[in-house]
Amino acid sequence: MTKHLLLGQTIGFTGNPLLGDWPDAVRYEQRGALCIIDGRIAAVGAADALRAAHQDANVTDYGNGLISAGFVDAHMHYPQTGIVASWGKQLIDWLNTYTFPEESRFGDPAYAADVAARTLDLALDHGTTTLTSFCTIHPASVDAFFTAAAARNMAVVAGKTCMDRNAPDTLRDTAQTAYDDSKALLEKWHGVGRAQYAITPRFSPTSTPDQLAALGALWAEHPDCLMQTHLSEQLSEIAWVRDLFPAARDYLDTYETFGLLGARGLYGHAIHLEPREVDRLAEIDAAVVHCPTSNTFIGSGLFDLMRLAQASLRIGLATDTGGGSSFSMLRTMAAAYEIGQLRGIALHPAQLLWLATEGSARALHMGGQIGHLGVGAMADIVVLDLASTPAIAQRSARAEDIWDALFPTIMMGDDRAVRDVWVAGKRR
């Protein structure tokens, strides 16, 4: 048995701070600790009490370091790591100019392996311990991502991106190969170690009705899998969907018609939703994923977080790299705050941190397993330095409470704020 005791300030959650009074959902210890036994959190509480109870543990004392569950990125594209922060364009032009040429390279297993390793290391550098990624149409791209994650013992979600129209020849499969490849990859990886497979149509415009139906049939055969796609990211995209699916009631209906609407569905962006779509997503307990840096970088619009939270939707937070312009979930929280301000809502630091941990884990149906500083969860941990730069340090020195100390790191922090990372109870 391996036992570790981590000491520092600790923050965890007992509920959803987006609903009701946020202080009721928070558990904070100024001098706290957590005990890790064989990769899982065995106890969380006051430092003195846990030291007395676990005198045989190896101790790491982070002083004023803030110990939190590791960040959970609920939507990103690892094949776009190399083109992150590419200039200009809106969604469709950006895909054609940057994304599709880069993704065409991922039929090369060595190239895919190199980018997968780099992406996961960048994520860990920024305190992100779980990624939910689209791959490319190439099975080798999926194998590369899951293999790299297994080498780091990271919990990840990923799947082969399926497209059989409105994409270059180098990135098109068919309805049958989408089904066959996805099924084979699912059977190879789903539930192996810490890997979860997500059936992955890119979005309705790049899949024919036949392909959407084939993937819907696969999901019906494997309902324990997740399904990830994009929904209502830009107004021009929604107009395109209307042209391609004239019989559909709305964008969401293009998924529901073909069996791609379900409780384990992850619908990225979800900015411009119709009232019927919100009601339907809530009815089936599906998840939407907020991608704030991407939404501003590509000019998509302002996600209506509180409207969707009050409708009882599961909501995750994500970098959406490479459409998103940062690998940092701290920067992503800051962008969520900024978009909230434009929507007339000043999100509290507790709400932002919850979105980046518990909220995203809940969206992935992995609540209590990851993104959670509580007994029984895997010990995926980030330790933050709340004075990581001179600008942050001079501001946090004036803090009157933990939230006043944390907020400057959310707004100005980057990988320098990440003091330490633990994955499944092992220090990175």
Report the pLDDT value the prediction gives residue 336, as an integer from 0 to 100. Answer: 98
Q: What is the CATH number of the domain that holds 205?
A: 3.20.20.140
Structure tokens of 36?
A: 């890790």
Backbone phi and psi for residue 318, each to the nearest 5 degrees, phi listed first = -155, 155
Q: pLDDT value at position 260?
A: 98
Range of the domain at 62: 3-70+371-427
pLDDT at 97: 84
Instruction: Give the pLDDT of residue 298.
Output: 85
Q: Domain check: are 316 and 402 in the same one?
A: no
- State whether 76 and 119 are in the same domain: yes
Cβ atoms within 10 Å, residue 74: 32
Do 155 and 229 fall into the same domain? Answer: yes
Residues of the chain under the 50 pLDDT cut: none
Are 309 and 254 members of one domain?
yes
Q: Does 259 reside within a domain? A: yes
Both 257 and 180 in a single domain? yes
Same structural domain, 197 and 321? yes
Residues 124 and 229 in one domain: yes
How are beta strands 3-13 and 58-69 bridged, if at all?
A: parallel
244 belongs to a structural domain: yes
User: What is d(CA 221, CA 183) in angstroms, rounded to the nearest whole number?
Assistant: 10
Say if 362 falls within a structural domain.
no
Instruction: Give the pLDDT confidence score for residue 66 in this predicted structure.
Output: 98
Q: Which residue, of 274, 305, 327, is where some domain finishes?
A: 327
Q: In degrees rounded to 5, what are phi and psi of residue 203? A: -165, 165
Q: What is the pTM of this model?
A: 0.97
Do 156 and 305 share a domain, yes or no? Answer: yes
pLDDT at 92: 72
Contact 295, 304 (CB under 8 A): no
Q: What total of structural domains would you count in the chain? A: 2
81 and 65 co-located in one domain: no
Please report, for the domain that includes residue 37, its CATH number. Answer: 2.30.40.10
Residues 53 and 197 grouped into a single domain:
no
Q: Are residues 65 and 79 in the same domain?
A: no
Sheet of 418-423, strands arranged across? 40-46, 26-37, 3-13, 58-69, 381-384, 418-423, 426-427
**Do 53 and 81 sit in the same domain of this protein?**
no
Show which of 275, 302, 327 is a domain's final residue. 327
Please check whether residue 347 lies inside any domain of the structure. no
Cα separation, 102 vs 158, in Å, equals 18
Look up residue 77 and give its two tokens: 């594209």
Residue 94 lies in a domain: yes
Domain-ending residue, one of 257, 292, 327: 327
- Per residue, the 3-state secondary structure of the chain, as one string, reads CCEEEEEEEEEEECCCCCCCCHHHHEEEEEEEEEEEECCEEEEEEEHHHHHHHCCCCEEEEEEEEEEEECEEEEEEEHHHHHHCCCCCCCHHHHHHHHHHHHHHHHHCHHHHHHHHHHHHHHHHHCCEEEEEEECCCCHHHHHHHHHHHHHHCCEEEEECEECCCCCCHHHCCCHHHHHHHHHHHHHHHCCCCCEEEEEEECCHHHCCHHHHHHHHHHHHHCCCCEEEEEECCCHHHHHHHHHHCCCCCCHHHHHHCCCCCCCCEEEEECCCCCHHHHHHHHHHCCEEEECHHHHHHCCCCCCCHHHHHHCCCEEEECCCCCCCCCCCHHHHHHHHHHHHHHCCCCCCHHHHHHHHHHHHHHHCCCECCECCCCCCCECCEEEECCCCCHHHHHHHCCCCCHHHHHHHHHHHCCHHHEEEEEECCEEC
pLDDT of residue 373: 98
Residue 366 lies in a domain: no
Question: How far, in Å, CA of 304 to CA of 295, rounded?
Answer: 12
Distance between CA atoms of residues 244 and 307, nearest Å: 29
Distances 240 to 71, 184, 257, 409 between C-alpha atoms, Å: 34, 32, 17, 40
Q: In this structure, is residue 110 part of a structural domain?
A: yes
Q: Is residue 381 part of a domain?
A: yes
